[in-house]
Every structure is written in structure tokens, then in C-alpha cells.
């Protein structure tokens, strides 16, 4: 009997999970590897950072996703390198051979010139990042009540967010609502007017990848919520206590949240020529890694640049899902010696929420904002969560927040100390 083809997928994110699911009942052996034992629904991570949801609502155990899929094995391990000649990968738990390798490792924060001080910034790329941020913000609120009258509160009650994309504005909106509805009730002896939320965006508008209407409306929403939004404002220096902008102005804060950019989470060993200048893996229209054989990349880490799309596909969950599905079909077609199909992104729209009844939605033929957009945003996010329990818990938490204007507890479960 012919041996089954060995397909190794690195990354149990959106792309990796979609792909692995497609292989159910196909005559192949799948090895899925991730450094975590759970799938993380990143679009709702800002809710963890602000106490709107608890981690178990957006994370789901990988093993449980595949309980009923017999042809898959999962290993929790960090993949260190790939040997494309020998068709092997090296991981923290040993080496594995492959016939086809799929790299679906997503992206990591790009700190640009701030790489050297990344340990004092607060990124938002993982659940531990979100928990650190939440602990630090609540620790500062506690600290503010024990400071002497002559001591300044500025540094610990000013929050700076760098980056005006969806992650930055959603986080800013949630923090503003926390300031408005939750902190006055939980910290009655704190002068809440001293807490300020400041958003710095180097570009002239927010949500650069969405329509002008979405940018303008999100700016209005944020300003209405009392957030100080600084457009055309590039942060050039930060020492842990004070940030300095390109125009020379400065701002005191010990909480600098970094949502200003991401780059591919690369694996060592790929040919140098297959890495783009923006740190992603260059692939062809079939997601095959350039200058390599039997190695493919999908999702955030992959970059297929064409003349009309010189920076590759956008780094979004639907792109990873669509690429995962098509590549799975194509691999089965390759095994069966059939022709394969090129990838074409079907853009079904983009959305972002800024707070209660405030969201912006760009569909291909319709752009709208406000309450209906907010309900649609909630609906899409709830149905996209993995597992009935996660959907139910998120729905229940949001519904009670909606009625009570309150949020879950903002527990400091694991105090955070900046390094
Ligand atoms: C805060 C935030 C908000 C976002 N909001 C939205 C949104 O509203 N809408 C939207 O469409 N997109 C949003 N995105 C982007 C979206 O999450 C990504 O585009 C999507 O997750 C990409 O999927 P992926 O499969 O490529 O990678 P991921 O989902 O990131 O999965 C990659 C997986 O690879 C694993 N991994 C990485 N390196 C290794 C290694 N060396 N060894 C083993 N495992 C490894 C990781 O642990 C992870 O599980 C958001 C992202 C963030 C961070």
C-alpha cells in the first residue's frame, strides 16, 4: 500500500486551522505544530486587555478542535528552523520530516527603531501581552490612590497608544468606556478626570486601510469619548517615563501601548531570496515559497506581491482563511496530479468598533457606521469564535455589559513588572 503523504503545518492560527480542517477524511497524515496549545482569536484581544472578556472566551484548545479528526496529530512546540534540502524541520521537541510543509506562523509586532526597548512597551499580539497590559493599567489605578498629595499622578494615569489602525482604535475606545462607566464605580475615591487616553498616529488619518468615511467617523467617535487623538504625530523617542514626538513635544507616561506595526513571524533556514523587505515570505500565486520545493506559506507571514498589489495581500484573518482553504485543495490536487488554482482574495469587507453603538463597516458596495454597524460587528465576531461555549460566554458577557454598563472584573491575576 502506498505511504500516506506527510503534511506538516506550522501554526494553529486562522490559516493553519482552516487548512487542517479541510484535510478531514482525506488520505494524508497531518502534523500540526504550535508553540501554544490553543488557537487565539486575535481580533478580540483588546477586550482581554480592558477586562471586557476573559481569555477563555477567545482562546480554544487545538486538541479539542480536532477531537474527531483521525488523520491529525498535534504537537505543542516552537519550530526553530527548516532544512529545505532534507525536507525536515527542527523544533523544541525534536525533528520532523515532511513531504509538504506549510508555514502559517502569522506575524509579530514590528517595533521598528524601538526594538532595543521593546521590553518596556506594551504590544498586543498574544494573550499574555493582553494580560500584562490589563494588570499594569489596574496596578497603576491602585497605585494612584496610595500616592502622596505632592506626588505627580501624570505618568501613571496617562496612557499612550501608538498606532491608529483597528487594534489601536478599538483598544482606545474600550479604555475610554472603562474610564466612563467602570472606573468611577470601582475607584470612587479616584479623580477620574486625571486619567487620560492618548492615541498617536503618524499618518494623516486613522484606519488607513478603510474608507475615508470610516476614518472620519472613527475620529469623531474617539474624540466624543474624550480620547486625545494626535494625527501626523510620530513618536521618535521613549525612555519609559516620557515620550517625545517628531515635532519636539513630549508627554509623560509609563504605559506606552504599541500597535504600530507587524512583520512576518519567520522560520530560519529559508533561502534569503524568499524573504521580502518587509520581513514576510515571498510566495507565488499558489502560495508556494519562492526558490524552494514543497514549502508553502499562508496568512500574515506570506507575501504575494503583484503589480497591482505591491505589498502583498492585507494581513487579515479572512485572507489567511481563504488561502488555507485553497492551498489544502491544491495540495490534494498536486498529490492526485491534477492542475492547481491560483489564489485570488475575495474581499468581503472590513469593520472596526470604537465602543457601545459605535462601529464602522466598509462592505464592497455599502459603507455605514453607527448602531447597526455595531450590532453587525458583534454578530460577526461572535459567530467567528471557535466553539459553542466561547460564543455563548462572549455573548453573555457583552449582553450583560450592554444592560449594566459594567464589565467583568479587571482582576490583577498575575501582577506585571516592566523589565
Ligand atoms: C490586536 C489584533 C487585532 C486584529 N483585528 C483584526 C480584525 O478585526 N479583523 C481581521 O481580519 N484581522 C485582525 N487582526 C489580524 C488577524 O488576527 C491576522 O491577520 C490573522 O491572525 C492571521 O492569521 P494567520 O493564520 O496567518 O496567523 P495567526 O492567527 O497569527 O497564527 C499564527 C500561529 O502560529 C504560531 N507560531 C508562530 N511562530 C511559531 C513557531 N516558530 N513555532 C510554532 N508556532 C508558531 C502562533 O502561536 C500562532 O498560533 C488582528 C490582529 C491583532 C494582533
Domains and CATH numbers, the chain: 5-35+77-109+262-335 (3.50.50.60), 112-260 (3.50.50.60)
> Containing H/E element for 238?
strand 235-238
pLDDT of residue 394: 87
**Residue 184 dihedral angles phi and psi, to the nearest 5°:** -60, -30
How many other C-beta atoms lie within 10 A of the C-beta of residue 117?
15
- Judged against a pLDDT cut of 70, whether residue 413 lies above it is answered with yes
* C-alpha 298 – ligand 1 centre gap (Å): 11
* C-alpha 295 – ligand 1 centre gap (Å): 20
Say what the pTM is.
0.95
* C-alpha 388 – ligand 1 centre gap (Å): 21
User: What's the CA gap between 49 and 55, in Å, rounded?
Assistant: 9
CA distances from 103 to 31, 173, 293, 315, 342 (A): 12, 34, 13, 15, 18
Answer whether 210 contacts ligand 1 (Cβ < 6 A). no
pLDDT confidence tier of residue 147, bands split at 50, 70 and 90:
confident
Answer whether 43 contacts ligand 1 (Cβ < 6 A). yes
Answer whether 408 contacts ligand 1 (Cβ < 6 A). no
Distant-in-sequence contacts of 340-343, Cβ < 8 A, 24+ apart: 340/286, 341/286, 342/285, 342/286, 343/285, 343/286, 343/287, 343/304
Please give the number of the atom of ligand 1 that sits closest to the Cα of 39: 49
User: What's the CA gap between 369 and 379, in Å, rounded?
Assistant: 15
Please give the number of the atom of ligand 1 that sits closest to the Cα of 352: 8
* C-alpha 254 – ligand 1 centre gap (Å): 27
pLDDT confidence tier of residue 387, bands split at 50, 70 and 90:
confident
Burial class (CB in 10 A: 0-12, 13-18, 19+), 25: exposed
Hey, CA dihedral for 49, 50, 53, 58, is it positive or negative? negative
Answer whether 103 contacts ligand 1 (Cβ < 6 A). no
Crossing angle of helices 212-224 and 166-177, rounded to 10°: 20
pLDDT of residue 150: 76
**Residue 79 dihedral angles phi and psi, to the nearest 5°:** -85, 125
- Judged against a pLDDT cut of 70, whether residue 408 lies above it is answered with no
- Judged against a pLDDT cut of 70, whether residue 401 lies above it is answered with yes
- Cell numbers placing 409: 472584573
Indicate the top mutation candidate among 14, 52, 106, 386 to test ligand 1's pocket, ranked by most ligand atoms within 8 A of CB.
106
- Judged against a pLDDT cut of 80, whether residue 149 lies above it is answered with no
pLDDT of residue 400: 85
* C-alpha 191 – ligand 1 centre gap (Å): 38
Crossing angle of helices 14-22 and 317-335, rounded to 10°: 30
Amino acid at each position: 500500500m502506498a505511504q500516506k503523504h506527510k503534511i506538516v503545518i506550522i501554526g494553529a492560527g486562522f490559516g493553519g486551522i482552516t487548512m487542517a480542517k479541510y484535510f478531514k477524511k482525506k488520505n494524508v497524515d497531518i502534523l500540526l505544530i504550535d508553540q501554544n496549545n490553543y488557537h487565539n482569536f486575535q481580533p478580540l484581544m483588546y477586550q482581554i486587555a480592558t477586562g471586557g472578556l476573559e481569555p477563555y472566551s477567545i482562546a480554544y484548545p487545538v486538541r479539542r478542535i480536532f477531537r474527531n479528526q483521525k488523520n491529525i496529530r498535534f504537537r505543542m512546540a516552537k519550530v526553530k528552523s527548516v532544512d529545505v534540502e532534507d525536507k525536515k524541520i527542527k523544533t523544541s521537541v525534536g525533528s520532523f520530516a515532511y513531504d509538504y510543509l506549510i508555514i502559517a506562523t502569522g506575524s509579530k509586532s514590528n517595533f521598528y527603531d524601538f526594538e532595543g526597548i521593546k521590553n518596556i512597551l506594551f504590544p498586543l499580539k498574544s494573550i499574555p501581552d493582553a494580560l500584562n497590559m490589563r494588570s499594569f493599567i489596574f496596578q497603576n489605578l491602585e497605585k494612584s490612590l496610595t500616592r502622596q498629595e505632592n506626588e505627580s499622578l501624570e505618568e501613571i494615569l496617562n496612557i499612550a497608544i501608538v498606532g491608529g489602525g483597528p487594534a489601536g482604535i478599538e483598544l482606545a475606545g474600550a479604555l475610554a468606556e472603562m474610564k466612563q462607566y467602570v472606573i468611577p464605580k470601582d475607584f470612587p475615591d479616584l479623580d477620574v478626570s486625571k486619567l487620560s487616553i492618548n492615541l498617536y498616529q503618524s499618518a494623516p488619518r486613522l484606519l488607513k486601510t478603510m474608507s475615508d468615511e470610516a476614518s472620519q467617523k472613527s475620529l469623531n467617535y474617539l474624540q466624543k469619548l474624550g480620547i486625545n487623538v494626535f494625527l501626523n504625530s510620530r513618536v521618535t523617542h521613549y525612555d519609559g517615563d516620557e515620550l517625545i514626538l517628531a515635532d519636539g513635544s513630549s508627554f509623560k507616561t509609563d504605559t506606552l501601548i504599541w500597535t504600530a506595526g507587524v512583520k512576518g513571524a519567520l522560520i530560519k533556514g529559508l533561502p534569503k531570496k524568499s524573504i521580502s523587505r518587509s520581513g514576510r515570505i515571498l510566495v507565488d500565486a499558489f502560495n508556494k515559497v519562492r526558490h524552494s520545493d514543497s514549502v508553502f506559506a499562508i496568512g500574515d507571514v506570506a507575501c504575494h506581491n503583484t503589480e497591482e498589489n505591491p505589498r502583498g495581500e492585507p494581513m487579515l484573518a479572512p485572507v489567511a482563511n481563504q488561502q488555507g482553504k485553497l492551498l489544502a485543495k491544491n495540495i490534494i490536487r498536486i498529490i492526485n496530479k491534477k492542475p492547481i488554482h491560483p489564489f485570488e482574495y475575495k474581499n468581503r469587507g472590513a469593520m472596526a468598533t470604537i465602543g457601545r453603538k459605535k462601529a464602522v463597516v466598509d462592505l464592497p458596495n455599502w459603507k455605514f457606521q453607527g448602531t447597526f454597524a455595531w450590532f453587525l460587528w458583534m454578530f460577526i465576531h461572535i459567530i467567528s469564535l471557535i466553539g459553542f461555549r466561547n460564543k455563548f460566554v462572549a455573548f453573555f458577557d457583552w449582553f450583560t455589559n450592554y444592560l449594566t454598563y459594567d464589565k467583568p472584573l479587571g482582576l490583577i491575576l498575575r501582577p506585571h513588572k516592566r523589565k
